[in-house]
Amino acid sequence: MALVHLIKEVDSWRSSSAGGDGDLGRVLVVSDDGFSRCGIYCAAAACLDQVQSHGSVDVFQAVKSIRKSRPQLVANPTEYKYCYDVVLHYVLNFCEGGGEEGTDPTSVRRGRSEARCYELVGEEEK
């Protein structure tokens, strides 16, 4: 997914251009209508950060947190599902099997239930 690669490129650029104090600064995200694509990027970036930091993510809570300050972000089920798809793509391609982030097993929290990423795609637990 292109969005995963964009988020990774932005993170890489921020890390390489961080000042001596380690401050990564902020990212300004703009879209033509001011909210649709911005919301998806912000929600997906927050979710991927949770995966990297904690090895699990609660997409519902991440989106809910973002919508507290900007209620129009991630405004419909299609955008919400896309956030899940981005996180799932990231987990399956960059985390599982000792991948780049090394946070296996990673879990993706759906509402109040937690499932390992391979359970999300229907594979049996090993």
Asked if 47 and 89 count as a contact pair (C-beta separation under 8 A), the reply is no
* Residue 115 in this model has a pLDDT that exceeds 90: no
Q: How would residue 81 be classed by pLDDT, with cut points 50, 70 and 90?
A: very high
Walk across the sheet containing 56-58 and list its strands: 56-58, 107-110, 113-116
pLDDT tens-place string over residues 30-51:
888 877 788 899 999 999 999 9
Question: What count of Cα atoms within 13 Å lies in the side-chain half-sphere of residue 55?
Answer: 9
Q: Which domains does the chain have, with CATH numbers?
A: 29-120 (3.90.190.10)
pTM over 0.95: no
pLDDT mean over 8-25: 78
For the chain, the average pLDDT equals 75
Burial of residue 55, with CB atoms counted within 10 A of its CB: 0-12 exposed, 13-18 middle, 19 or more buried: middle
